[in-house]
Amino acid sequence: MDGIARFSLVALDCPDPQALASFYSAVTGWRIDDDDGDWVQLRSDSGATIAFQQAPEHQPPVWPSVEHPQQAHLDFDVDDLDTAEEQVLALGARKAEFQPGENFRVYLDPAGHPFCFVA
């Protein structure tokens, strides 16, 4: 089936795009490709892109919550959950209090967005 559009990137609102791009660059190893201050992009060698957009009034989601839901999250595959957890916590992530599964873990990035490591 032919689509009417091609996916190009996912963008996350945050108070400090450079800081959040640097965090995810350390998580993924992707390079910061475009940075105009209010909009920063990380691009992988395969073309996948995550953008970070300045939103001064950004209120992070509360996970899990129906009143203030996450709306979106990122998943990253890892070889070893314990090793990956140690590394991402050292970068400034926080482990979410509620952990609903055994083969994945939920974290909050420095701006409060949920993301998961999946083994």
* Domain end among 58, 76, 98: 58
Residues 70 and 107 reside in one and the same domain: yes
Same domain, 35 and 77: no
Residues 73-95 have pLDDT tens digits of 888 999 999 999 999 999 999 99
Question: Are both 48 and 65 inside the same structural domain?
Answer: no
Band (pLDDT 50/70/90 cuts) for residue 99 is very high
Give the CA count within 13 Å in the CB-facing half-sphere of 106. 15
Which residue range forms the structural domain that includes residue 26?
A: 1-58
71 and 44 in a common domain: no
Residue 1: its pLDDT value, please? 78
DSSP 34-52: EE-SSEEEEE-TTS-EEEE
Is residue 50 domain-shared with residue 76, that is, in the same domain?
no
At residue 4, the pLDDT reads 64
Structural domains of the chain, count: 2
CA distance 74 to 52: 13
Question: Are residue 65 and residue 109 in the same domain, yes or no?
Answer: yes
What CATH number has the domain bearing residue 54?
3.30.720.120
Instruction: Name the DSSP class of 83.
Output: H
Q: Based on the domain organization, do 50 and 74 belong to the same domain?
A: no
Checking phi first, is residue 112 left (phi over 0); if not, alpha (psi -120 to 50) or beta? left
Instruction: Pick the last residue of a domain from 26, 41, 58.
Output: 58
For 1-50, the pLDDT digits (tens) are: 787 667 788 999 999 999 999 999 999 999 998 888 899 999 999 989 99
Last residue in a domain, options 41, 58, 75:
58
pTM assigned to the model: 0.83
